[in-house]
Amino acid sequence: MANIQVAFLLSLLMALTFCCLTFAVDPASLQDFCVADSNSQGFACLLIAVKLNGFACKNPAWVQANDFSFSGLHNPGNTGNPFGSAITPVTVAQIPALNTLGISLVRIDYAPWGVVVPHYHPRATEIITVIEGSLEVGFVTSNPDNRLISKTLQKGDVFVFPVGLVHFQRNVGHMNAVTISGLNSQNPGVITIGNAVFGSKPDISTDILAKAFQVDKNIVQQIQGKF
C-alpha cells in the first residue's frame, strides 16, 4: 500500500510540474493556425457568454493570406511628440494569424535624444536590435537589489529585456535611430511606470504616493495633473 501511495504522489507531482511548464508561456496552438476572429470574443455555452484567453479561431475556410501579413513596417513613425519616439506594433491586433503563436514584433523610431520611457511587458521577454543609430538601453532588476544593467548599443547590436523587468531606451546620437524588437507573446502588453502610478483612473491617493516617494502631496498632485 505504501508503494502505491508513493507512486501516486510522484505521478501527481509530475502532473503539477507539467501543468506549470505548460502555462508558463502563451497557450500553444493545437492546429496549424488559429487566425483570430475579431468578431468573436468568446462563444456561447448554455446561453452564457464565455470569454477566451486570447481570441476565438476564424473558420479555416475563411482564412486569407492577408490574415498572415502586415504592410508598412518600413515607414518611419511620427516622433513629433514630447517623448521623441514612435512605436509601430505588429501584434495579434495587426496580424490575426499571430493568435496562439506566442510571438510579436515592434518597430520603434527615435528622434535625436528621444526616449522610450521606463515600462515593462507583463507577458513577454523583449529582444531588441538596433537598425540605425546609437541607443542607450537598460533594465532594473527586482527588489531588493534594484540593479541598473545598461549599455550603449550601435547599429547591429542586440540586447535582451527579461520579462516583467522595468526597462527603457534612449537615442544618444544626433541622428534618428530605428530599432526592431521581437517579443515572445502575441499580446505582450505594456505598463508605463509614470502612467500606471500617476495616471491611474481613479487616482491613487496622494497620501499613498507622497509617502511612497517621500515628497509633499502638492508635488504629487502636480505630477498627477500632467497625466
Which residues participate in the annotated binding site for oxalate? Answer: 121, 126
| Residue among 24, 184, 189 at smallest CA distance from 104 | 184
Residue 180 has pLDDT above 70, yes or no: yes
Domains of the chain: which residue ranges?
2-60, 85-189, 195-226
Which residues participate in the annotated binding site? Answer: 119, 121, 126, 167
Residue 1, pLDDT score: 55
Q: How far apart are CA 130 and CA 149, in angstroms?
A: 18
Domain at 85-189: CATH architecture: Sandwich (2.60)
* pLDDT tens-digit series, residues 32-53: 888 988 776 554 444 555 566 7
Residue 57 has pLDDT above 60, yes or no: yes
Which residues participate in the annotated binding site for Mn(2+)? Answer: 119, 121, 126, 167
Alpha helices in the chain, H assignment, sequence order:
2-22, 193-198, 206-213, 217-226
Q: What percent of the chain has pLDDT over 90?
A: 73
